[in-house]
């Protein structure tokens, strides 16, 4: 497998550096508000990468995503609402995990809170001061960027190219306008912790260094996030990690492209955004997954209702095919015919193409194309096959679900609920068939119409009556 490494600026071969365990750290939410749909992109992309590693590579994944529960924006929201900072953080942390559940995304292996690691951050900063990489001014502590020889290697911004006031705090206390804050002196009414430099709180750039090392140890394989974090956040992480010890930091840095809305990058400050939970009120999570993963993760993605509707229609077509095949073959049994066996054997090429696509810098665009080709081939065989050859369609459904799994697509409902549902629907289909045989058409049509209101469509075919779920 190869991944584009933002640090080396090239595609590099990737494998775990220690055994079969991969450590991934993804920058998590600052919990002062709900996530917007641009924030969701790294959540979906890197969760899908995690699932691919686990299912197709057989690797154990330690997936860590921090929660920033102390920050200027949290303090501002606290003042606006009259709630404590802790109450604001608790509200939106809970909302974040609810969103993960709604998206069908597994929780991280660990979700450390920044406030639980302040003591470790103080010790870390003290070490930087002792080594001459940081200095204190009036209770604030700044990192001395000139003390790191290759500062700017990730973003490509050399010290000479950078100008004061560009995404950095300008302060007369700093030796260099580009020096960034490690510790902020406390202001009246703000949360504070004790430190050698007086009461205060840690800066944002420090928490990810401390927490990633605490939870991943030697498994510092992949650090990921949006490309808006490359500078200054990720650049400043690398600078601190490099200055603090000779131990290597993350080998791979992965960055997803930004979401665009109305021709501009999506930012809350511009007001051109929609909250993720609002989108999930109109579209199922599977549609949202398909929409995001149909574009390469490193490229910008234009958000549009047309794009979501197209994704919805694409998912519905595959779902309908799967449901129809399962309904048709639910009670069928026997030995697959020769043409069916040949069809099943031919399916391996789709799996090979899928793995080849995702091994190439996690190219989910080509991966989705493979799924579409598999659907086309399945439809072709379904139209031509007769008798027990049709039993081979089960293998196509199984493969669609296997390949769709890392992308969050085409999975069955929970086993217990789906089996009960299938049994009840089969019972109703049998009852309707008997009503039609007795020419009780009013009652049989009533069964059909009421099932349609519940989201289940009945179709009368030469093979019998089939039921399928209507995708919202």
Q: Answer yes or no: are the C-beta atoms of 227 and 139 closer than 8 Å.
A: no
CA atoms within 13 A on the CB side of 237: 27
Lowest mean pLDDT among 20-29, 163-172, 357-366: 163-172
> Which of 107, 124, 267 has its CA nearest to residue 196?
124
Residue pLDDT, tens place only, 145-163 = 999 998 999 999 877 666 4
Q: Are 8 and 366 in contact (CB under 8 A)?
A: no
Structure confidence at residue 434 as a pLDDT band (50, 70, 90): confident
What is the side-by-side strand order in the sheet with 259-261?
264-265, 259-261, 301-302
DSSP structure class, residue 36: B
Instruction: Tell me which of 458 and 471 has the higher pLDDT.
Output: 458
Instruction: Tell me the pLDDT tens digit for each residue of 309-348.
Output: 999 999 999 999 999 999 999 878 889 999 999 999 999 9
Residue 174, pLDDT above cutoff 50: yes
Three-state DSSP state, 243: helix
More confident site: 296 or 470: 296
Mean predicted confidence (pLDDT) in 43-71: 96
Residue that wins the pLDDT comparison between 167 and 17 = 17
Is the previous residue joined to 232 through a cis bond, with omega within 30 degrees of 0? Answer: yes
Task: Write down the domain spans for the chain.
Answer: 2-256, 415-472
- Band of residue 103 on the pLDDT scale cut at 50, 70, 90: very high
Share of the chain above pLDDT 90, in %: 78
Predicted local distance difference test score (pLDDT) of residue 415: 37
CA distance 107 to 118: 23
Give mean pLDDT, residues 73-99. 96
Neighbours of 271 (CB within 10 A): 8
462 pLDDT higher than 80? no
Distance of CA 77 to the CA centre of its chain: 26
Confidence of residue 173 (pLDDT cuts 50, 70, 90): confident
Q: What is the pLDDT of residue 417?
A: 37
CATH number attached to the domain at 2-256: 3.40.50.620
pLDDT higher than 50, residue 442: yes
| Interior/surface letters 45-84, b for 16+ CB within 10 angstroms, e for the rest | bbbbbbbbbbebbebebbbbbbbbbbbeebbebbeeeeee
Q: Could you tell me the pLDDT band of residue 472, with boundaries at 50, 70 and 90?
A: very low
- Residue 27: predicted pLDDT: 96
């Amino acid at each position: 497998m190869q991944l584009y490494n933002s640090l080396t600026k090239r595609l590099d071969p990737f494998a775990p550096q220690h055994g079969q365990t991969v450590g991934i750290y993804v920058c998590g939410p600052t919990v002062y508000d709900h996530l917007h749909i641009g924030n969701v992109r790294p959540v979906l992309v890197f969760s899908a990468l995690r699932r691919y590693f686990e299912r197709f590579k057989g690797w154990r994944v330690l997936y860590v995503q921090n929660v920033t529960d102390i920050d200027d924006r949290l303090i501002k929201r606290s003042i606006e609402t009259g709630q404590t900072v802790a109450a604001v953080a608790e509200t939106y942390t809970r909302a974040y995990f609810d969103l993960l559940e709604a998206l069908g995304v597994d929780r991280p292996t660990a979700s450390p809170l920044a406030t639980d690691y302040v003591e470790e951050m103080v010790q870390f900063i003290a070490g930087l001061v002792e080594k001459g990489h940081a200095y204190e001014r009036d209770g604030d502590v700044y990192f001395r960027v000139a003390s790191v020889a290759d500062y700017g290697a990730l973003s490509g911004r050399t010290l000479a190219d950078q100008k004061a006031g560009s995404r950095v705090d300008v302060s007369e206390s700093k030796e260099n306008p580009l020096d960034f804050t490690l510790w902020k002196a406390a202001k009246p009414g703000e949360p504070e912790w004790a430190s050698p430099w007086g009461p205060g709180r840690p800066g944002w750039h420090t928490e990810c260094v401390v927490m990633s090392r605490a939870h991943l140890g030697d498994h510092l394989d992949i650090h990921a996030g949006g490309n808006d974090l490359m500078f200054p956040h990720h650049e400043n992480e690398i600078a601190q990690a490099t200055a603090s010890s000779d131990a290597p930091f993350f080998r791979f840095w992965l960055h997803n492209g930004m979401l665009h809305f109305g021709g501009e990058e999506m930012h809350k400050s511009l007001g051109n955004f929609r909250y993720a939970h609002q989108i999930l009120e109109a579209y199922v999570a599977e549609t949202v997954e398909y929409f995001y993963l149909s574009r390469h993760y490193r490229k910008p993605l234009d958000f549009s209702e047309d794009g979501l509707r197209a994704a919805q229609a694409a998912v519905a077509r595959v779902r309908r095919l799967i449901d129809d095949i399962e309904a048709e073959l639910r009670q069928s049994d026997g030995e697959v015919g020769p043409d069916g066996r040949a069809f099943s054997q031919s399916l391996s090429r789709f799996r090979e193409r899928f793995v080849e696509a995702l091994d190439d810098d996690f190219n989910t665009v080509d991966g989705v194309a493979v799924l579409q080709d598999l659907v086309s081939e399945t439809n072709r065989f379904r139209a031509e096959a007769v008798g027990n050859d049709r039993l081979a369609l089960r293998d196509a459904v199984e493969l669609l679900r296997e390949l769709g799994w890392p992308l969050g697509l085409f999975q069955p409902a929970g086993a217990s609920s789906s089996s009960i549902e299938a049994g009840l629907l089969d019972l109703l289909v049998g009852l309707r068939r008997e009503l039609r045989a007795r020419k009780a058409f009013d009652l049989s049509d009533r069964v059909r119409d009421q099932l349609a209101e519940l989201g289940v469509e009945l179709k009368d075919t030469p093979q019998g009556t089939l039921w399928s779920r209507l995708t919202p």
